[in-house]
Amino acid sequence: MKKSIYNLSKKWPALTLLGLLLSPSCSKDILTEVPLDFLAPENAYQNVEGIRQGITGLHYNVRETWYYADDIYLGSSRQDPFAILIGSLGTDVAFHGENPGGNRKLVNYRSEMTSQDPQFTYFWVTSYQIIQQANVLIAGIEKSDLSIWNSEDQKNQFLAEALFFRCWMYRLLVPLYGDVPLVTEAINTVRTDFIRTPKAEIYQLLERDLTFAGEHLPARGSEEAPGRITKGAAWHTLAEIYLNQSKFEDAIDAASKVIDGAGYALMTRRFGSTPDVFGSGDPFLDLFTYGNQNLAENREAIWVIQLEPLVVGGRKFPGDRGWGPAYFRMGNTPDGFPAFRGEMVNGQYTGYSDTLGRPVSWIKPTNYAAYDIWRSDWNNDIRNAKHNIKRDFYFDNPASKYHKQKIDFGLYPPGSRNAMRDTCQYIYPYFLKHASPLQHFTDPAQSGAGWTHKDVYVIRLAETILLRAEAYIGLGNLELAAADINAIRERAHAKPVAAAEVDIDYLLDERARELYGEEFRHITLRRVGKLLERVRKYNNNPIYPACNIQDYNVLFPIPQSQIDLNIDHKMEQNPGY
C-alpha cells in the first residue's frame, strides 16, 4: 500500500497540537507567555516532524471540506462537499436532478443564494479557517531555527507548501466574492475590524507566493508522499491567477513550465489496472480507475486528493452518489416487476447493481453537457465511448419479459410515468469517471451506498494545457490555441479544430468534454465573464429555467453573520444582496 499522509485523527484543528507543545522552559524563559489553549507560532511547529504534521493537517482539512463533508451541519442544513456545490451545479453543465424544484444545490439562485444561507456561510468560514491554519504554519516555519532543518532548501520547501494552500484558498475566494479580507498573519485574539482588500492587491501577493512555491517545491516524483504539492501545482495555479488578471503572456509562461520539460505528459497509452465492466477501455478510462491515480507511470496527475479508505483517518467520496442517476428508484418494468433485481446479499436481492453503485442524482448533466457538445464527434471521441459515459440502461429482472431489454419509457402506458423524474432523477447519461464499478468497499446491501474510494484529481495536465490555450486566445494567437486544444482532442481521437473555429466558447466546450465534474466550473465561467450568458443559454432545469440566475449572482453574497460581527469596520455587502 502506498505511504499515507492522512493517517491522523479526524479531530481538528486540534490535531496539529498533539505532541507539539514544548517541554517546560529553562529558568530565564519562565516568565515568557506561551499560549496553551490554542494553536499559535509560539507553541507549535517546533521541529520538522511537527511542521510535517501541520502540512498534513492542511491536506486533511481541504479534503474534509472540499471532497468529503459528510455529516457536517450548520444550523439545520447539511453541508455538501464544496467540490460538488461549485464544481458543476447551477452552471451551464449541470443542475440538481434529484429535486430540481427544491431549495438546495443552486437550483434557484434567487431564493437560495442569500447572505443568510448556511451553505455559503459555511464556505466562507471554512475557507478562512484553512487560511488561519496556513498562516499559523507559515509563521512557525519562518520563525523556526535553521538548526532543526537538514538545509535551508528543506525549510523553503515546507514553507512553499504552506504558502500554496493559502494561495489556493484565495484562488477560490476572490473569483467568487471579489474583494475579500486579506489575512496574512496568524490571528491570536478576537478581531472585529476586517476590511475587504482590493483583489488586485490580493493577486499581487498570490503571484509572489506562488512564484516562491514554484521555485522551492519538489519536482514531480520527488515529493515525500503521494498527494503532496509539487512545482507543477504551483505553476498551474499561478497561470490561473494570471488569467484572472488578463496577464496572458505571464499565464503562458507559468503554464509552459508545467507542460514543457517538467516530467508531465498526457496519458495516450493504456496503463494501470482497469476492469472490463462496460466494454473495452482506453487511457481516459484508465485515468479514473481505482488505484491508477498515484502510479508513477501516470504522468498526467499533478495534484491528487488521497482518500486512503483502508487506513485510519481515511475517507470516501460521493462519486456515485453525486453524479449518477438513481436508477433503483424508477419502480417496475412495464409488466409490473421490479426493474432492477440487483445483487444477492444475505439471501436476498438488494435492488442495487455493483456496477452502478447507489447514485442519488445530485448532479444531472444539462442537455448541453450530455448531448450537444458531443454531436460532431459522437462516434469517435473516446470520452463519449460507452465505457466512459453510460447512456443505455437495461431492465434487470428475469421474471419480466423485458429482462435485458434497453429501458425505454415509451414502453409504459401514456401518463403512467413522471417524465421529469424519469429523465432528471432515474435515468440519464452517467459520466463514469466519477463512478467506481465493482470497487465498492462498504455497505454491500446498497452497493457502496453512493460512496467511492478512488483518489480524486484536483489538477490534471489536461487542464493546464487548456489554461494555456485560453491565454493564447486572450492574445489573439488562435493557431497556438488550436494546437493546445488539439493535443487534448488528439488523445480523445476527436477531429482537430481549425484555428478559425477557436474562441472562448469553443474552449469552454472543450473544457466541458475533458473536465466535466473535475473543474470548478463556477470559477472558470466567472474568470472568462460567461457565467450569466451560458447558464441562461444552456441550463435546462425544468422547474427553474437557468436556475433563476440573477445578474448580481456573478458574485456570492458576503455572509451577513460576518458583516454583523465586524463591528469596528463597515464591511460592504456585494451588490444585490
Percent of the chain with pLDDT over 90: 82
Residues 175 and 66 in one domain: yes
| pLDDT score at 57 | 95
pLDDT tens string 122-157:
899 999 999 999 999 999 999 999 999 999 999 999
Q: Mean pLDDT throughout 208-222?
A: 98
What is the maximal distance between C-alpha atoms in the chain? Answer: 88
Confidence of residue 274 (pLDDT cuts 50, 70, 90): confident
Residue 297 included in any domain: no
| pLDDT score at 176 | 96
Residues 535 and 423 in one domain: no
CB 363 within 8 A of CB 96: yes
Nearest alpha-carbon partner for 517 in 283, 298, 378, 320: 320
Residues 450 and 536 in one domain: no
Residue 15 has pLDDT above 80, yes or no: no
Residues 94 and 200 in one domain: yes
Residues 444 and 568 in one domain: no
What is the identity of the amino acid at 22? L
| pLDDT score at 26 | 36
Secondary element (H or E) of residue 239: helix 231-244
| pLDDT score at 366 | 98
| pLDDT score at 14 | 30
| pLDDT score at 309 | 81
Q: Residue 96 sits in a domain of what CATH number? A: 1.25.40.890
Residue in the block written with cell 461549485: 86
- Look up residue 197 and give its DSSP letter: B
| pLDDT score at 9 | 32
Residues 432 and 538 in one domain: no
Residues 450 and 534 in one domain: no
Q: How many domains does the structure of the chain reveal?
A: 2
Residues 536 and 448 in one domain: no
Which of 409, 434, 454 terminates a domain? The answer is: 454
- The CA distance from 408 to 392, in Å, is 9
pLDDT tens string 327-373:
999 999 999 999 999 999 999 999 999 999 999 999 999 999 999 99
| pLDDT score at 103 | 86
pLDDT tens string 94-128:
999 999 999 889 999 999 999 999 888 889 999 99
Residue 496 has pLDDT above 90, yes or no: yes
Residue 18 included in any domain: yes
| pLDDT score at 21 | 23
Residue 23 has pLDDT above 90, yes or no: no
324 or 22, greater pLDDT: 324
Nearest alpha-carbon partner for 139 in 45, 219, 228: 45
Helix axes 48-66, 118-143, angle to 10 degrees: 170
Which of 454, 470, 497 terminates a domain? The answer is: 454
| pLDDT score at 78 | 56
- The CA distance from 236 to 458, in Å, is 11
Residues 196 and 337 in one domain: no
Residue 397 has pLDDT above 50, yes or no: yes
Residue 58 has pLDDT above 80, yes or no: yes
Return the number of other C-beta atoms located less than 10 Å from residue 363's C-beta. Answer: 27
What is the identity of the amino acid at 570? K
Residues 435 and 549 in one domain: no
| pLDDT score at 321 | 93
Residue in the block written with cell 515525500: 224
Residue 272 included in any domain: no
Question: 490: which residues sit within 8 A by CB, 6+ positions away?
Answer: 496
Confidence of residue 413 (pLDDT cuts 50, 70, 90): very high
Question: 546: which residues sit within 8 A by CB, 6+ positions away?
Answer: 535, 536, 539
Percent of the chain with pLDDT over 70: 91
| pLDDT score at 284 | 98
**Structural domain of residue 135, as residue ranges?**
13-24+34-204+530-577
Which of 401, 423, 454 terminates a domain? The answer is: 454
| pLDDT score at 36 | 52
Residue 568 included in any domain: yes
Residue 500 included in any domain: no
What is the identity of the amino acid at 329? R
| pLDDT score at 82 | 83
Confidence of residue 280 (pLDDT cuts 50, 70, 90): confident
pTM for this predicted structure: 0.92
Confidence of residue 73 (pLDDT cuts 50, 70, 90): very low
| pLDDT score at 509 | 98
Residue 562 included in any domain: yes
Residue 159 included in any domain: yes
| pLDDT score at 41 | 59
Q: Mean pLDDT throughout 29-39?
A: 49
pLDDT tens string 502-525:
999 999 999 999 999 999 999 999
Residues 349 and 441 in one domain: yes
Nearest alpha-carbon partner for 198 in 212, 215, 218, 182: 182
Q: Mean pLDDT throughout 22-47?
A: 52
| pLDDT score at 310 | 77
Confidence of residue 308 (pLDDT cuts 50, 70, 90): confident
pLDDT tens string 524-567:
999 999 999 999 999 999 999 999 999 999 999 999 999 999 99
Q: Mean pLDDT throughout 60-66?
A: 91
- The CA distance from 130 to 152, in Å, is 26
Residues 535 and 446 in one domain: no
- Average model confidence (pLDDT) for the chain? 91
Q: Mean pLDDT throughout 20-33?
A: 34
Residue 577 included in any domain: yes
| pLDDT score at 20 | 24
CA distance to 37, 240, 246, 504, 523, per residue, from 528 (Å):
45, 11, 9, 8, 9
